[in-house]
Each structure stands twice: as structure tokens, then as C-alpha cells.
Amino acid sequence: MRVSNKSRRKLVICFVIIFLCSVSFFVGKSYGYEKKEIKSMTILVQRGDTLWDIAKKYCNGSNTIEKIDKIRKANKMETSEIYIGSELIIPIET
């Protein structure tokens, strides 16, 4: 059975596309681009609490400022002001 050059080109292009897609998938995983599972907990703001102190307590060795940003984003906060008795969602990366 004879295969035309046009069919052969299409087959080669398909294999190249599949190869490139699989390579990009595995390269992305090796550089840490896979999604991390993010869990959260809710805390009740107590008298004397500041967002800095809360972030520092739950940052697990990461940057406190980045943790503040994550807390603000999770709670849809425009400022860093917190109020006694309000609940805050604390994202916890696993």
C-alpha cells in the first residue's frame, strides 16, 4: 500500500504536536506549575489581633507580607483593617 506525501506530512505533524504537548505538560510539572491544593480555615478576630500577627502565625515559614496578601485576597479585603468579632478565612497551602 502506497502512502502519499500529503498523508505522510499530516501524520508527521500530528506526531510532532502530540510530542510537544506531552513535553510541555511534563516540563510544566517539573517546574512546579501544577496546581497546589489550597485549604483554608476560619478564625475569629480577637482584641489586639492585627493582620500582621495573624499572617505571621499562619505563614509556615513563608513571607509574612505575601501571606497578608493571600489573606486579604481570600477575604476580598481592600485594606488591612480587621475588626474584633469578624471571621477571617486563612488560606493554608498543602
pTM of the full structure:
0.58
Q: Which residue has the higher pLDDT, 76 or 61?
A: 76
Lowest-confidence segment of 1-10, 42-51, 64-73, 74-83 by average pLDDT? 1-10
CATH of the domain spanning 38-93 = 3.10.350.10
- 84 band by pLDDT with thresholds 50, 70 and 90: very high
Question: Is a pLDDT exceeding 90 seen at residue 87?
Answer: yes
pLDDT tens-place string over residues 14-71: 777 887 767 666 665 555 555 566 689 999 999 999 999 999 998 777 788 999 999 9
Nearest-angstrom CA–CA distance, 41 and 43: 7
Stretch (H or E) spanning 58: helix 51-58
